[in-house]
Structure 1
Amino acid sequence: MNSINQRLQKVSQYIKGETIADIGSDHAYLPIYAIKNHLCQFAVAGEVVKGPFEAAKINVKKYGLDNSIDVKLGNGLEVLDQENNIDSITICGMGGPLIASIIEKGKSKLQNHPRLILQSNIQTITLRQALSNINYHIIDESLIEENGHIYEIVVAEYGNQFMDDFDLKFGPILLRQKNNLFTKKWNRELQALEKIKRNLDEDKHFNRLNEINKEIKMVQEVIL
C-alpha cells in the first residue's frame, strides 16, 4: 500500500518514534502505510467494531505485516497495555466530542506521554478542551480539504498550555496562520450560523439565539 487518502497522508507526516497506535483503525490503512513507508517499526491497530476489526486483520495479513501490526479489538485506549511504549497515537475520522472522550477516559494509558495526532470531522473545540484537561499542549495544527469537507488535524504533546476562548474554538496555531482554507472554513460556518439564526424565534429560542449571536460575533471578529 503506497497510497492512502490525503487526510491520512497528512496525519502520517506527524508520526514520530518507532511505535504507533491507531485508534478506530477501520481497515488498518494508516498503520499499514506507516510501516510500508518506514514511518515507524511497529503499530497497534485498535478497533471497537467487529466488522472493521476483522477487515483490519485480513488487510494486515494480505500485506504480510502480522509481525509488525497488532490488530486489537477494544474500546478506545483500552487496547493499549499499561506499560506500553507507544510513541505516537493517531485518532482520525471521528467527531471532536468522541475523540475528547477517548483521550479523557484513557488518560491512564498516556503515562509515557506519547504524541497525540488527532483528526476530527466536527467540533474540534471539545477535543482542544480535553487536551487541556489531560495536561497536553498543541504543538501543530493543519487544515485539509477532501471531497468538499474541511478537516482539522491537531498535534499535541505533554505539557501545560493556556488557551482562551478563541484558541479553543479556532485553534491556537490555525488562528495565527489564518490561511485560505481557514477563511473558507469559517466563512462556511458563518453562513450556517446565520441560516440557523433566521429560523429561530426570538421569544421561543431566546437562549439559543444568544449563543448563536455570540458565535457569529466571534467568527466575524476573526475573519472579517
Structure 2
Amino acid sequence: MSIVIRDVREHELDSILALNNAAGPTILPLDAARFRKFFDTAEYFRIAERDGTLAGFLVGFGSEADHDSSNFHWFREHCDRFFYIDRIVIASRRRGGGVGRAFYADAQSHAELRYPQLTCEVFLEHDADPVRLFHGSFGFHEIGQHVMPESGIRASMMAKNLCSYEWVRDTYGDALPGEPWLSRPRGALPRSAAAEPAGA
C-alpha cells in the first residue's frame, strides 16, 4: 500500500492527460500539446503510483519560468520569488488516501531549498471547502482572489511561507551540496550555472 512519487516518463503522458481531463470541474481540461509543453518545460512534473498503478500527478514551476498561466502571472505580480503548483490531480479512487499529502510533502521538499514561498490556487465556483480545508491544514493561507480571464472562474490565491528557505540560502547560497536527494526533478533548469547541484 506504499505511495511512490517519481518523475513522469514520456510514454505516460496520454494516461496522465486522460486522468486530468476526467478530474471534474475543479481541474481545467487540457489538450495533448499543453501536456507536452509541461513535460518539456515544467520544473517539477511527477506522478504518484500506489500498488503499481497511476494515482495522480503534480506539475509545478519556479517563479522565473516561461509559463503562460494567468494565475502564475498573478503570483508574479504579488510575490517576489515562489514555487507555483499549477495543478495536482488525484485519481478518484485514491482521494482521501494520503496521495495529496505525499505530493505536497515532496513538492515542498523541492521548493523549500530554492524558494521562500509555495503558491497555488483553489477554484471557488464549485464545492471548494474540502480543497480549501486541505490547503489550510497544510499551512496555506489566502493572499487574494483572481478571476481567470480565459474562463471567468474565480480562484482563491494561496501561499505558504517556507521557513527552511532562509537558512538554506544563508548557509549555501545557490550552491547546494551534491547529494542525490537534492537533485532537481527531471527537466528542471537551474536559475544560474551556480544553482545546479554538483553531480546532478
The interval holding the TM-score normalised by the smaller chain is 0.3 to 0.5
Greater relative CO (CA pairs within 8 A, separation 6+): 2
What is the TM-score when the length of structure 1 is the normalising length? Answer: 0.31
| Larger fraction in helix | 1
Q: Which has the larger radius of gyration?
A: 1
What's the TM-score, normalizing by structure 2?
Answer: 0.34
